[in-house]
Structures are given as C-alpha cells and as structure tokens.
Structure 1
C-alpha cells in the first residue's frame, strides 16, 4: 500500500533492495509478488533488484526469494549482485548486473566510457571465489548470525535504544529517537554519530546517510544509527561497553 502511493504511470523504474542496507529487512515472497503485479499489470515499469546480500540470510541456510521468479519479471528486471559481501571483497568494486540484452547492452556502452573495466587481478580473484568450495561462505553466514544475535541482545538492552532483529545482511539499525531532540543528550542522530566517534571511539552511521532526515515526523521517531557487526564478537562487546558507558557515565574514559 505504501508503494502504491509513491508510483504512478510516469514511474520508469522501481528500485528494491533485499536484504536491505541499512535495516537488514527482507521483502517477503508475498510482497514481491504484489510488486511484480504492480509493475507488470498496472504501471509497465522496470525493476532494479539489488540482491548483493542475497546469501547472507537468517537463520543461516534460509532460501532467498527474488522478484525474478514472477511472471513478466525476467524481461523487465535488472538484477545487481557483487562479491563485496559474499566473498569479503569490499573496495575491489567487483559487481555485475543481469537483465534483458537491450538494457545490459546500453549499460555496457555507458560503463565502457566511464569506468572501463574491473582490474584484471580482481576479475581473477572473483572467478576463483566462485569456482571454489562455497563452504566458507556458509560458515561465515553462521558466524554473522551469532554476531547478529549478540548485537541485538546487547544494544536492545540499553535504555532508550531499540534494536530490531535483522533478517539478513550484517547491519543493525538502532532506533535512537528517545536519545535525540530538544533537552536530550544529542541534537539528532548525526550529532550522536559524531560524538560517539570522537568521544567513545566507535564508528557508526547516522540514518541521514540513507535518506532518513533528522527530526520527528508527527509521533514517529526518525533518528537512527547503523552498526555493522562485521567484527569479532569480542570487538562487538567492547563497542557496546564504550557506547553504553559514554551514554550513562559522565566520567567516561574510552580507554
């Protein structure tokens, strides 16, 4: 229903991201089917499906649902994936798109004149990652699940912070609305991000980096910070200690 209010006959493309960055939310099969119906039957739109976290699902081993499975979607969907998440290759910028030839050919012409190609050694590394045993990926997802459970348990236990359980990816998106605003510890989530970094030495990202504006809209809090549980469980515990101590101990010393 929310999507229906945001698209119309002039909409050229609907972009979906599941599992989602920064929330870890997953678009369920029923919702994907409804989106497919809208773009095929009502609006004749394209879909760009960002599926870069498709193999990082919880519980580990869960089946990923793609919008490509529904009638009419193969010819109107551009699916995006990359090696940055699945094979821990961030920064190497090795990604790819799959879609109908007319769209991929147009994209290829544009890329040829903007970024040329992925460096050769990165391409070889990507091929090696795909050709070898995938057990390492499965084991890493299991470890991410343990880190997720720890992160949710620790940060949801902090007063005035709500940490929902993500269904995929490796981020926790904390609702910190109760800590932000007039007369509170932080002006907004951007202020919180900066102070936690410089005073508690923990790196987070404000929800504003993902298009969520600072401030309140009616009664719904719009203040969030994102945590990435891509570090060890011990580092997660230490990050929690520093943030918790900073929030509630006026004599806090991070070291």
Structure 2
C-alpha cells in the first residue's frame, strides 16, 4: 500500500497533547482501569436547561438549514450586547464573526492574515494550539517565556524585545490555559503601551475564561483597557467554558470589519457556518439568565483551593494559586531525576506524567506541551470527591520517589 503523502504544512505541527491525554485515559478506563482524568479542559457542569430548551425549540421551528457563513444575525446582536454589557466594547454586526468553536476563530484569523515567515508572539506557558496553528498557517511562532517567579505573565520589556519587523500577531490569553494566570487592567495597559508603538502588530486576545475568576479579581479585556489599539485587536470568546457548552462548538470574536470579512472568506471555503441549532442555543446563553455563572465560579474556587493546597503538600511539587480558569500548573522540577516505584528514572515532566498514569492511574498533561518543561497541568473541572482521591494518589506517588 502506498504511503500517505503528508503535506509539509502538517509535518510542521504536533498533535494536541491535551486531547492525547484525555483519549489515553478513556482507553484505559475502557480496559477496566480505575483512571482519574485530569487532562480535559471542560467544565463538569451540565449545560443549563434554558439553553437546551432554546435548542429544542429551534429544532421544532425548523432552524435546521445553512445559515450565514459567519453567524445568524440574532447571535451577532447577542454577542454585540454581551461585549457592550460586560466588556465596555462596541462592535457592529459587521465586526463580529461566529465559528464552530474558539479554535476555529483563531485558525481563520491566522489563515486570513499570515504569510510564510510572519511571526506570531506567543507567551509561554501557552495553550497547546496557538503555536501549532500559527505553523500550520505558514507563520513562525516566537515564544516569550514567563516562569513561576513572574506569575506566568510576560513583562512589557519582554514583549518589546520580541517584536520585529516580521511580527504579525501577539497572542494574549487571560485567564490562561494552562496556568490560570490573569492580567490586571494595569498589566494589560503596560503591554498596550508597547503595542501602541508597533502599529504593524495585531493583537489576538483569548478571553474564553473571563467569567471564571477568583478572589474578587476584576477581569479586563485588552481592547477596552487599551483603546489606542482597539482597531488592531481581535477579541475572542465563546460559550464553551462559562456556559458549559464545550460540545456545542460556538466561538466568536469582535474586531475590525476588514479582518472579520477576511475571516468570513476563510470560513466560506473551510467549515462554513457553525451548527444552526448551536447558534440558537448560544443566543439564549448570552441573553438569558446569567446568575448561575458566579455560583459555578465559586465552586471552582473551592476546588482550586483544595487542589493548590494538596499539590503544595506533595513532596517535590510547588504550585501557584491561579487567578482564574480551572487549571493548576505545578512545578515538578524538584521531583525529576528520581526513580519511580516501577523503576523508571523521571528525567523530565513527560516521564513524570507517564509514570503517574502508569502507577497511580492519574492522567495529567506534561508542561512541555505548553512550552514550560518541568511542570504539569491539572484540570480541577471535576468533583471534590474525585479531586480528593486524585490528590491522595499524587501525594503517594511523589512520596514514593527515591
């Protein structure tokens, strides 16, 4: 059989590490193993009933046909209202794009704007897909690292140093996947001052976790905090995290009309519109009751405190307290170089996570996948009971290292 002719573009990218860990955990469970999966980035809460009901009503009304490529007008209006209400941002309908998931929004923006050799500045730790999608679209990711000592947030001087004549985009994700770190309004303004001096650079802000913040942290969107660069900013969001709608696949963005039009052109020749029923469900999500969101965030905060305290109690681990999202990102570098009970010497975070899964049946994602070797990511988007058991296994694993 002839080999598949893999494209040079695809050879540039790696498969998603988070999906790989989640799939491995599922396979092990199917084989009868008692696996605790802490790899998935999705809330364990169900989609609220009013949103489900809106989808059912849309089906009954016959809203089952193709829609406008980049979203129905009702959803665009709801998104514009959301931006105005929650983010102090004004966007017209022609400035809003709807895609089948937040990942598709990012891909369409990169596909519409990147030429070979264009640079995309990506702060690390980063969500696994940012650099890979930039590579797939022909761009070159430029990684700017911010360690645990900096709270996993880049400084203005780092950003300024990374910008070149080839820089096309800067990606800012706050609160962050994988660290949960969130930029304050003043920190965003400081980055915006740098970007204001680089008019050729566009800014992509991923605000997907804006509603999952803790300890009275006040979320700010970069385009609102830095109005001088509003015309060069694509503000990305979606309904997956706050509304527990990961499987509905609705992402959206607000930005300059010309960019939105170009993204629509890319959409028209790739996925076309997001699912019609999902779009009507998203209308209800954004315009219906919002009171459950802070209630769920409070539950996530309780879980965060449980997980961070538990990880810091484990031998060789050190974990910052995240400002948002539902991930902890512990440093495991002090545990590396030791021997696990199965005889493996843990040379890096990848081997650490592999041994943790093999011995204690806890699935976590290595930090190397996020551009931060020596760490691993834990999702606490699961029940307190499951997290308590997972922490007990992690502590037992770390205590057994020699």
Q: TM-score by structure 2 length? A: 0.57
For residues 23-42 of structure 1, the aligned pairs below 5 Å read 23-42=179-198
For residues 52-67 of structure 1, the aligned pairs below 5 Å read 52-60=208-216, 62-67=217-222
Contact 1:8–1:43 (Cα < 8 Å) also in 2: no
2:370 is the alignment partner of 1:210:
yes
Cα distance in structure 2, aligned partners of 1:161 and 1:37 = 36
Contact 2:171–2:204 (Cα < 8 Å) also in 1: yes
Cα distance in structure 2, aligned partners of 1:97 and 1:75 = 13
How far apart are residue 201 of structure 1 and its match? 1.3
Give 1:75's aligned residue.
231
Question: Deviations 1:133-187 (Å, cap 9, x if unpaired)?
Answer: 1111110001001100111111111121001100010000010001113768512
Question: Deviations 1:58-85 (Å, cap 9, x if unpaired)?
Answer: 125x321111122322211001001111
Give 1:241's aligned residue.
392
Cα distance in structure 2, aligned partners of 1:43 and 1:181 = 46
Cα distance in structure 1, aligned partners of 2:327 and 2:334 = 20
For residues 67-106 of structure 1, the aligned pairs below 5 Å read 67-69=222-224, 70-106=226-262
For residues 143-222 of structure 1, the aligned pairs below 5 Å read 143-181=299-337, 185-212=345-372, 222=373
Considering fraction of residues, name the structure with more helix: 2
Alignment counterpart, residue 295 of structure 2, candidates 130, 139, 148: 139
Contact 2:159–2:194 (Cα < 8 Å) also in 1: no
Contact 1:9–1:43 (Cα < 8 Å) also in 2: no
Cα distance in structure 2, aligned partners of 1:229 and 1:129 = 23
Question: Deviations 1:53-109 (Å, cap 9, x if unpaired)?
Answer: 11111125x321111122322211001001111111123321001101000110111
How far apart are residue 24 of structure 1 and its match? 0.7
Contact 1:147–1:233 (Cα < 8 Å) also in 2: yes
Q: TM-score by structure 1 length? A: 0.88
Secondary structure in structure 1 of the residue aligned to 2:181? coil
Q: How has the CA–CA distance of structure 1 residues 224 and 13 changed in structure 2, closer, same or farther, with 3 Å as cutoff?
A: same
Cα distance in structure 1, aligned partners of 2:400 and 2:192 = 51
- Paired positions, count: 240
Which stretch of the first structure deviates more once superposed, 72-81 or 180-189?
180-189
Cα distance in structure 1, aligned partners of 2:171 and 2:197 = 17
Cα distance in structure 1, aligned partners of 2:284 and 2:227 = 34
Which stretch of the first structure deviates more once superposed, 62-71 or 152-161?
62-71
Secondary structure in structure 1 of the residue aligned to 2:241? helix
Contact 1:11–1:43 (Cα < 8 Å) also in 2: no
Q: How has the CA–CA distance of structure 1 residues 182 and 155 changed in structure 2, closer, same or farther, with 3 Å as cutoff?
A: closer
Cα distance in structure 1, aligned partners of 2:204 and 2:392 = 40
Which stretch of the first structure deviates more once superposed, 196-205 or 153-162?
196-205
Cα distance in structure 1, aligned partners of 2:360 and 2:273 = 40
Q: CA RMSD in A?
A: 1.7
Cα distance in structure 2, aligned partners of 1:31 and 1:244 = 35
**Structure 1 residues without counterparts, runs of 5 or longer:** 213-221, 251-255
Cα distance in structure 2, aligned partners of 1:174 and 1:89 = 27
Cα distance in structure 2, aligned partners of 1:91 and 1:170 = 18
How far apart are residue 249 of structure 1 and its match? 4.0
